[in-house]
Amino acid sequence: MTEHINHIELTKRHDLEKYIIRTYNLTKIYNKGEPSEVVALNNVSFGIEQGKMVSIAGPSGSGKSTLLNILGCMDSATSGEAFLKEIEITGLSEGKLATIRKTEIGFVFQDFLLIPTLSALENVLLPLIPDGISKTDRERALKTLAMVGLEQRAKHKPKELSGGEKQRIAIARALINNPSIIFADEPTGNLDSKNGDEIIALLRSLNREMGVTVVIVSHDPRVWEKTDQILRLEDGIIFVPNGNESR
Amino acid sequence: MSFQTISFVVKNTFRKKLVTALSITGIAIGVGLMVTLSSASAGFNQLLDNTIAETLGDVRVTEYNKDITISQLPENITDTIMTIENSEKIEAISPIIYVQGFEQFSENITASSPHRPGMATVALNARGINPINDAQFEGPTTRIIEGRVYQTNFEIIVADFLTSDSNGFFVVGQTIDFQINFTYAIPLTVVGIFDTSQDTLAMLHPTIVMSVATGRMLNNLFLPYELTGYNYVNIRFDSSSLETTEKYAEELEALEPKLQIELIGEAMQDASSVMQNFNTVQIILTVIVIVAGGMAIIVAQLMGVTERMKEFAIMKATGWKNRTILFTIILESIIIGLVGALIGFGFGAGLIFIAQRGATETFIVITWQIALQVLALGIGFGLIAGLIPGIRAARVKPMEVIRGL
Ligand SMILES: Nc1ncnc2c1ncn2[C@@H]1O[C@H](COP(=O)(O)OP(=O)(O)OP(=O)(O)O)[C@@H](O)[C@H]1O
Ligand SMILES: [Mg+2]
């Protein structure tokens, strides 16, 4: 690990704990060894500071979603290391990754991914279903709905909600387990600019008030403006601000 | 597994109403058929077992190597039989006349028993029996439900099902012209009706009974020779196994005149081996039902799972474990299987109820084994059929689905 340290532009050994995410030469190669081989992430080394709201920009196919999925414990890397807090997530078993997704991570996707048969409240409670839902859980979910401004919609089914409202429900679902980090992959992609702005503003306020780290993949400069830091991916290579390439 | 998981599963099970209803219907039809068949065969088995048990000690003797219709045994045949060493084991003995001509008489008269709907129709068959001997067997003369037992010549009693409304050939007091060889007629008067509802072998037993004297007289008018004795003798030994009966019956072989001996229980057991074939058919049917029912669930579930891949993806993204997802799909299948099996059970039970409506004696029985089998089938369907779709759902790679691959 020591030999990677100098890859991280901002990092010195004594302040490692200020990073919620750290990666060292993180590489993802799809269909390795086949003619269709794609190097989606190429020795990506960087860090994301705890409590920040960060955007990841870059052209289509540059590896943004790939990076998010690996950091979000939904996919494995081909090589390199990634840390969430002090946990090395690269190389963990499926079961352990699932536990981390449940306790540490919230996801928001472009097309909301609400379950149509469940009410807004039940969708928010979805992550808790396997372990059982207590009365306090239900109250917490209602509070979370209130935080995203939709306590009046608790009983509504997704088809009765607007796109912006659906995305708010998805954000409430991401928040229900008090995650330390939220990954949002083009959360405004299916929304008009007004609703998009509102979603970003909501994420911003959650980030400020709850201290939850937010990582947003977006093509939209209006989103970038609202974030603390803009990371850029190009052909699987990461560029961190102040002009420093990670490699 | 939380209560919420189960209610989540129940909700999901019934969201594709048509598909779920169709696969439930498929299973229900299969299981219903199976229940009906199993119950019928269980009933027949029980009936046969009872009958075999009843007839274990029964022996019929005729003249050696002669058909029952032409067999001639001397008038003192019962005395001869009572000379055997184990005669104290004889509980009942009844020498009987086989009365000729009734098959011909009844050429156009057949009747089916209302007690056993669907069972073969019977031809009239008549016997001459002494009521005193008949009583030892609790035969027809002990079961008069209307009128009285024959007392003088030319009086007959008839089985109840020959007088039922639908058949109604005979009524008490009626006189029948019994044709002898199409040349002249003998008037016979119906004086009584006997009950057959408790007689599991009614189909094999005489439908018309008269005195020995009347029977002989009719036969002597019919036949070119004079009959003084009997056609056959029914003997009931005090025996609870075919082996013992056989042992006693062997003593009869040493008697003079030489006798033809038939163990009734043995004949019954041969009949019951026919049931074995029926049981095989039933097992084959059960296997078909399981395969077809399983397919119905697999198809329905595979369709459902494919459609819901995004949901499984988001469930996994929010930390659901693979095994939890597998469990939910299997539980869904079990619900479909169980509902189908239970509806099928009801459907089968309904069929049985309709089939037996009006019968005083039920011979189709739903045993607890059948009920248990249905339950096991329902759960089995779900377990097996839920496995493949369940594994597919559990193996979903969230980001691939979300990306739209
Ligand atoms: N499962 C896969 N198998 C093969 N190649 C893949 C797979 N997933 C992604 N890729 C390829 O990897 C590269 C990076 O994909 P990724 O989805 O991370 O890009 P992106 O930056 O999110 O693009 P967009 O802005 O269009 O969403 C692309 O060239 C893509 O075709
Ligand atoms: Mg993407």
> Whose CA is closest to A108, among A43, A12, A211, A185?
A185
Q: If we measure between CA atoms, which residue out of B104, B142, B148 comes closest to residue B126?
A: B104
Please list, in sequence order, all residues whose beta carbon lies within 8 angstroms of the beta carbon of residue A177, skipping any fewer than 6 positions away. Answer: A102, A103, A106, A127, A128, B318, B319
Are B70 and B201 found together in one domain? yes
* A108-132 pLDDT, tens digit each: 999 999 999 999 999 999 999 999 9
Residue B122: its pLDDT value, please? 57
Substitution target in A68, A126, A176 with the highest count of B β-carbons within 10 Å is A126
State whether B282 and B369 are in the same domain: yes
pLDDT tens for each residue of chain B, 405 residues long:
788 888 899 888 888 888 889 889 988 988 888 888 888 888 777 777 877 788 889 999 999 999 988 899 999 999 999 999 999 999 999 999 999 887 665 554 444 445 544 444 556 789 999 999 999 999 999 999 999 999 999 999 998 887 755 555 678 888 888 877 777 888 899 999 999 887 777 767 888 999 999 999 999 888 888 888 999 999 999 998 889 999 999 999 989 889 999 998 887 777 777 777 777 888 888 788 878 888 888 888 888 899 899 999 999 999 999 999 999 999 999 999 999 999 999 998 888 888 877 666 666 778 888 889 889 988 988 888 899 999 999 998 888 888 765
Mean pLDDT to the nearest integer, A67-89: 94
Could you tell me if residue B194 is inside a domain? yes
The span from the CA of B263 to the CA of B242, in Å, is 8
Q: Which atom of ligand 1 is nearest to the CA of A186?
A: 27
Query: Is residue A207's pLDDT more than 90?
Result: yes
From B197, B219, B238, the end of a domain falls on B238
Which of B218, B238, B258 is the last residue before a domain boundary? Answer: B238
According to the CATH classification, is domain A2-244 in 1.20.58.2050?
no
* B114 and B188 share one domain: yes
Please indicate, yes or no, whether residues B291 and B370 belong to a single structural domain of this protein: yes
Q: Do B85 and B228 belong to one domain?
A: yes
Query: Chain A partners of B12 at a C-beta cutoff of 8 Å?
Result: 117
| pTM to 2 decimal places | 0.72
Query: Which amino acid appears at position A143 of this protein?
Result: K
Hey, are the CB atoms on B311 and A129 less than 8 Å from each other? no
In a domain, residue B121? The reply is yes
Does residue B285 lie in a domain region? yes
Question: Strands A229-234 and A53-57: what pairing?
Answer: parallel
If you ran DSSP here, which 8-state letter would residue B230 be given? B
C-alpha–C-alpha distance, residues B327 and B317, integer Å = 17
- Asked whether residue B247 is assigned to any structural domain, the reply reads no
In this structure, which residue's CA is closest to atom 28 in ligand 1? A61
Q: What is the pLDDT of residue B360?
A: 60
H/E segment holding residue B279: helix B264-307
Same domain, B104 and B140: yes
Total domains present in chain B? 2
What is the domain extent for residue B292? 3-50+270-404
- For residue A14, give the DSSP letter: G
Q: Domain for residue B393, yes or no?
A: yes
Please indicate if any CB of chain B lies within 8 Å of the CB of A127: yes
Q: Does B313 touch chain A (CB under 8 A)?
A: yes
Task: List, chain by chain if needed, residues with CB within 6 Å of any ligand 1 atom.
Answer: A 30-31, 38, 40, 58, 60-66; B 400
CA B23 to chain A, closest CA, distance in angstroms equals 21
Predicted pLDDT at A73: 95
> Based on the domain organization, do B218 and B290 belong to the same domain?
no
Nearest to B319 among A69, A101, A115 (CB): A101
Whether residue A74 lies within 8 A of chain B, CB to CB, comes out as: yes
User: What digits encode the pLDDT tens for the residues A130-151?
Assistant: 999 999 999 999 999 999 999 9
Domain boundary among B238, B261, B293: B238
Identify residues whose C-beta is under 5 A from ligand 2, the ion: A 65
B28 and B63 in a common domain: no
